[in-house]
Amino acid sequence: MSTFRLPRQRDALSGFADAFAAWCTQAGVPAAVATRFQIAFDELLTNAITHGAPEAADEPLVVNLRADAQRLEAEIIDAGPPFNPLAQAAPDTTLTLDERDPGGLGLLLVRELIDEVQWRHAEGRNHLRLAHPLSDAPATTG
């Protein structure tokens, strides 16, 4: 397993994107799968930085990565009060932009891109686990 610690600053995301791409190359993760995760990370980490707990401003975001012959797994760990993004209602994409409440499209995208997305709160931290087959099969569950 590899662990990355990111300061809660938007400018840290580009450095993480580069480090993640290098890690994927070394781990043999296909580019299509790496791209799925990169999009998901951009959305989820940006949300954690933008909407995360101000009382945890000094606590880094932690991303754990693991790949084997079949799948890539990631866990994003964020200090702060419990917040389950998966419990949020999916946006009604049949409505026009004027009729729809803002937000929610990023998580909808993550659910479409990544095969497994799970949340838990443990030891005062939010843990969001992502897993997807390396064969780049379409996402099946959220």
pLDDT tens digits, one per residue of 82-110? 888 878 766 556 556 666 565 555 687 88
pLDDT at 141: 46
pTM, 2 dp: 0.85
* 2-6: strand order across its sheet: 2-6, 61-67, 71-79, 125-133, 116-122
pLDDT along the chain (142 residues), means of 10: 93 95 97 96 91 78 96 94 79 60 67 93 94 74 47
Please say whether the beta carbons of 64 and 78 come within 8 A: no
Give the mean pLDDT of the chain.
Answer: 86
Arch. (CATH architecture) of 2-133: 2-Layer Sandwich (3.30)
**In 3D, which of 16, 123, 119, 4 has the Cα closest to residue 131?**
119
Q: Where are the domains of the chain?
A: 2-133
Amino acid of residue 8: R
Looking at residue 21, its pLDDT comes to 97
